[in-house]
């Protein structure tokens, strides 16, 4: 066991899952939400030549996906250091 | 120089580059052959993953499909990118920490069962062969149109090239070749897109251009296309016509399927660390998104251009005798057909009775530079780009097949006593056999290549994805639960698809579909079923053994991740 205590292991995992679920909620909201379920309502709004719902379905969701992954990378690296379970530097 | 000579030159140069890299990056051990020794930097791995992922279908067909489907085409854009979020957040880091070579390895070890391993191997091989046949066919089509050699000769040339660097280099050779192939394919996709965006909207960035005004000013490009579509009897381009529930289910099946595809997952075994696996998925998505956000722009440009060329600027139909040369050259390949129904010598394209054209969606990318009258060297680039996309994906899939045979089937199942050297020999042999089978399928394509793609995603979504997720996030999940979940998920999804696609294709209309879900989207329901069955069976049969639960605990944090090992 690399954690100092069993309690630490539990906390680490709980925080990990929380980060993951928060980001997945955004993932769901931009694609299934804005791009599919709410597309008709959002299409009433214009972004230059784009109807907003259409833009989310073909552009916006993809940009958001990229941001989500890099936010995850950053948060998880910080979490690993907090509980001292990051990989050794030389790797 | 004419287009023909330029095409030969560019394709020849790119092939020489791939072979050169293959010789430089030969594999010496099974670890190098399977996962490149786990030593690929995340950025390079991301680029290779992107090339591996973007197949002939993404490169040649996707913009065309969107061009004809409009908003409905979004299922592919969101589905094939959103899966990477699932991969990065839910799968990649944990599988990397687990430190094995293949997906069946994980399934077999996590669920302490040879049966589970065997089921996983069969799925992996089936999914990969389905895919690879389509790639070889893509190679053949590009060769026949651009280099004017018969499709079969094209497939054989493609086989020799792939054989050379997949069999010799294994994962190490493939990865570095794919980095080069990514550069070729993205350059060849972007250059025409930027040119056309400039021509049509005055904006060099296609992603912004298709939301801008047309170059003559006054009207937004998308509004113009919506107007044209309505006039010609099509649904509005930005609205689409599929029912919402089907769009939802197809998107989900593609996303989850992406995250469950063995040739994508194995990519995350090739990076040195768990942190690297997380980051690598992000890089992969950036490189994929460059193409995936450009494709919908290309779709719009190509459609407006095509309608204008065929129906003429006044919308009365252009004279066939004055048609641009690309119409004739693509007629020869059978991808465009014109039938002068009203005998006025003019072409006309519409959704209703006025229509006189049959246009294959694949030409929207392949002929796009010609339609927009771009310089010869840009047209020549398209051949090199399409080939790079097809070859890189084919190589990645062949590797999964050869690994499944030599590692999962022989080493871990039938002949556990073979040495590393013998295993490597078997891996190379299996790759060689797989290349030949794939080539045969490319020359004699089963009539259903296009249909089975839905199959591959549906199967991956309804089998692997739930089993892996439960394996990581539900540590008490046992083999009975996981196995029965996989079996029920696969059987349900496969029967639905086989019934509508092969047994009774006439009934394949939305009225007959369960809840209005098409066979393309049914994998989502199969996945849900898999989860439910797994939970119920687990409740009845009790928890996984303690030692397995301890292993699951240990993959949940990065510390101590070494190189991927066989045991």
Q: What is the pLDDT of residues B244-266, one digit of tens each?
A: 888 899 999 999 998 888 888 88
For CA atoms B495, B501, B506, B507, the dihedral sign is positive
Percent of chain B with pLDDT over 70: 95
Return d(Cα B14, Cα B249) in angstroms, integer. 39
Residue B558: which of A27, A61, A87 has the nearest Cβ?
A: A87
Residue A49: which of B220, B239, B244 has the nearest Cβ?
A: B220
Chosen from A41, A45, A49 to mutate, greatest number of chain B CBs within 10 A: A49
Question: Which residues on chain B are in Cβ contact (under 8 Å) with A32?
Answer: 248, 251-252
Q: What is the pLDDT of residues B211-242, one digit of tens each?
A: 888 877 778 888 888 888 888 888 888 887 88
Asked if A70's CB is within 8 angstroms of B82's CB, the reply is: no
Q: What is the pLDDT, as a whole number, of residue A29?
A: 92
Residues 232-291 of B with CB under 8 A from A: 238-239, 244, 247-248, 251-252, 255, 272-275, 278-279, 281-282, 285-286, 289
Question: Which residues on chain B are in Cβ contact (under 8 Å) with A3?
Answer: 557
Question: Which residues on chain B are in Cβ contact (under 8 Å) with A20?
Answer: 89-90
Instruction: Report which of B278, B23, B51, B30 is spatially closest to residue B175, judged by C-alpha positions.
Output: B51
How far apart are the CA of B345 and the nearest CA of chain A, in angstroms?
36
Residue A57: which of B74, B84, B90 has the nearest Cβ?
A: B74
Query: Which of the pair, B290 or B343, is modelled with greater confidence?
Result: B290
Measure the CA angle with vertex B133, ends B425 and B277; round to 5°.
65
Return d(Cα B364, Cα B366) in angstroms, integer. 6
pTM of the model: 0.87
Nearest chain B residue (CA) to A69: B282
| Cβ neighbours of residue B261 closer than 8 Å, sequence gap 6 or more | B127, B456, B457, B460, B464
> Does A45 contact B at CB distance below 8 Å?
no
Per-residue H/E/C for B66-114: HHHHHHHHHHHHHHHHHHHHHHHHHHHHHHHHHCCCCHHHHHHHHCCCH
Strands (E), B296-434: 336-338, 357-359
Query: Which of the pair, B509 or B47, is modelled with greater confidence?
Result: B47
Asked if B238's CB is within 8 angstroms of A27's CB, the reply is: no
Return d(Cα A2, Cα B331) in angstroms, integer. 66
Asked if B213's CB is within 8 angstroms of A58's CB, the reply is: no
**pLDDT band at residue A65 using 50, 70 and 90 as cut-offs:** very high
Nearest chain A residue (CA) to B209: A49
Of B91-100, B214-223, B345-354, the least confident: B214-223
Return d(Cα B259, Cα B403) in angstroms, integer. 19
């Amino acid at each position: 066991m690399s954690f100092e205590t069993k309690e630490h292991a539990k906390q680490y995992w709980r925080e990990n899952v929380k980060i993951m679920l928060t980001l997945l909620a955004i993932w769901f909201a931009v694609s299934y939400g804005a791009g599919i379920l709410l597309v008709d309502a959002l299409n009433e709004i214009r972004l230059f030549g784009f109807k907003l719902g259409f833009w989310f379905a073909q552009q916006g969701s993809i940009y958001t996906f990229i941001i989500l992954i890099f936010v995850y990378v950053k948060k998880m690296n910080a979490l690993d250091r907090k509980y001292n379970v990051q990989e050794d530097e030389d790797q | 120089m004419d287009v023909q000579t330029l095409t030969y030159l560019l394709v020849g140069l790119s092939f020489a580059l791939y072979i050169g890299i293959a010789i430089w990056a030969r594999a010496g051990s099974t670890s190098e052959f399977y996962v490149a020794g786990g030593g690929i930097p995340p950025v390079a791995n991301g680029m290779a993953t992107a090339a591996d992922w973007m197949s002939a279908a993404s490169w040649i067909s996707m913009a065309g499909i969107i061009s004809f489907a409009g908003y409905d085409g979004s299922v592919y854009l969101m589905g094939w990118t959103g899966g990477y979020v699932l991969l990065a957040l839910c799968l990649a880091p944990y599988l990397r920490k687990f430190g094995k070579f293949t997906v069946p390895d994980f399934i077999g070890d996590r669920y302490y069962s040879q049966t589970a391993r065997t089921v996983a191997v069969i799925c992996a091989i089936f999914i990969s062969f389905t895919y690879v046949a389509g790639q070889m066919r893509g190679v053949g089509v590009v060769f026949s149109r651009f280099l004017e050699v018969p499709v079969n000769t094209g497939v054989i040339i493609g086989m020799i090239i792939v054989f050379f660097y997949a069999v010799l280099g294994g994962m190490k050779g493939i990865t570095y070749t794919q980095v080069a192939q990514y550069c070729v394919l993205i350059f060849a996709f972007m250059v025409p897109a930027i040119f056309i965006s400039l021509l049509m909207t005055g904006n060099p960035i296609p992603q912004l251009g298709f939301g801008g005004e047309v170059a003559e000013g006054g009207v937004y490009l998308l509004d113009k296309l919506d107007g044209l579509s309505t006039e010609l009897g099509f649904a509005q381009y930005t609205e689409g016509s599929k029912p919402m529930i089907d769009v939802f289910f197809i998107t989900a099946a593609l996303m989850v399927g992406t995250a469950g595809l063995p040739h994508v997952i194995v990519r995350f075994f090739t990076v040195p660390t768990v942190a690297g696996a997380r980051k690598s998925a992000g890089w992969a998505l950036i490189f994929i998104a460059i193409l995936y956000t450009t494709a919908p722009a290309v779709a719009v440009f190509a459609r407006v251009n095509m309608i204008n060329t065929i129906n003429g600027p006044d919308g009365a139909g252009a004279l066939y005798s004055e048609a641009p040369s690309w119409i004739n050259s693509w007629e020869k390949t059978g991808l465009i057909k014109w039938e002068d129904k009203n005998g006025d010598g003019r072409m006309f394209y519409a959704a209703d009775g006025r229509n006189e054209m049959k246009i294959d969606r694949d030409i929207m990318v392949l002929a796009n530079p010609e339609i927009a009258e771009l310089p010869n060297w840009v047209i020549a680039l398209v051949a090199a780009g399409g080939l790079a996309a097809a070859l890189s994906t084919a190589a990645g899939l062949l590797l999964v097949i050869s690994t499944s045979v030599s590692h999962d089937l022989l080493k871990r199942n039938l002949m556990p006593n073979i040495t590393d050297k013998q295993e490597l020999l078997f891996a190379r042999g299996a790759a060689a056999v797989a290349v030949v089978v794939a080539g045969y399928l490319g020359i004699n394509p089963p009539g259903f290549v296009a249909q089975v793609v839905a199959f591959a995603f549906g199967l991956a979504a309804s089998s692997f994805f739930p089993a892996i997720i439960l394996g990581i996030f539900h540590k008490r999940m046992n083999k009975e639960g996981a196995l029965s979940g996989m079996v029920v998920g696969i059987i349900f999804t496969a029967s639905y698809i086989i019934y509508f696609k092969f047994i009774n294709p006439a009934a394949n209309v939305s009225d007959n579909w369960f809840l209005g879900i098409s066979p393309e989207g049914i994998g989502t329901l199969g996945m849900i079923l898999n989860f439910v069955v797994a939970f119920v069976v687990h409740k009845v049969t009790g928890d996984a053994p303690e030692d397995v639960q301890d292993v699951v605990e240990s993959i949940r944090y990065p510390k101590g991740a070494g190189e991927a090992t066989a045991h």
